[in-house]
Amino acid sequence: MTDEKKIELLAELFEVEESAIIPEKKLSELKWDSMNMLGLIALFKGELDIILPAAKLRTFTTVNDILQEMK
């Protein structure tokens, strides 16, 4: 998956413009709630065929943490 596609998917998930999805952005500045956490799990499974454990997800603090896991 290209970096552009990853940004597009995360922008859709967090309901923000793609320009807001930058690596250093803190997740606390986005809508990082339980619904979007479940959405991220679904996104990983559906788009990347990766099972993202909830325990791992809880360690994410920035957009970069997500992007690293998408590789």
Partner 1 sequence: MILNGQKILITGASRGIGKACAQRCANEGARIVLVARNENALEDVRRSLPGNGHIYIAADLLDPESCVPNIFKTACADGIKLTGMVHAAGIAHSFPVKTVSMKSMLESFTINYFSFMMLVRHFIQKKNSDGGSIVAVSSVASIAGWQGLSVYGGTKGALNASTKSLAIELADKGFRFNTVLPSNIKTDMLASITSVLDEAGIHEIEKKQPLGFGTPMDVANSVLFLLNPASKFITGTNLVVDGGYTAI
Where along the sequence are the contacts to partner 1 (CB under 8 A)? 12-13, 15, 34-39, 41-43, 45-46, 54, 57-58
Q: Please write down the long-range contacts of 63-67, taking CB distance under 8 Å and 24 or more positions apart.
A: 63/10, 63/21, 63/22, 63/23, 63/24, 63/25, 63/27, 63/30, 64/23, 64/24, 65/27, 66/10, 66/27, 66/40, 67/3, 67/6, 67/10, 67/23
In the complex, minimum distance from the CB of residue 43 to partner 1, in angstroms, rounded to a whole number: 5
Closer residue to partner 1 (CB): 24 or 28: 28
CB of 23 to partner 1, least distance (A): 21
Q: Which CB sits closer to partner 1, 20 or 41?
A: 41
| Smaller CB separation from partner 1, 57 or 67 | 57
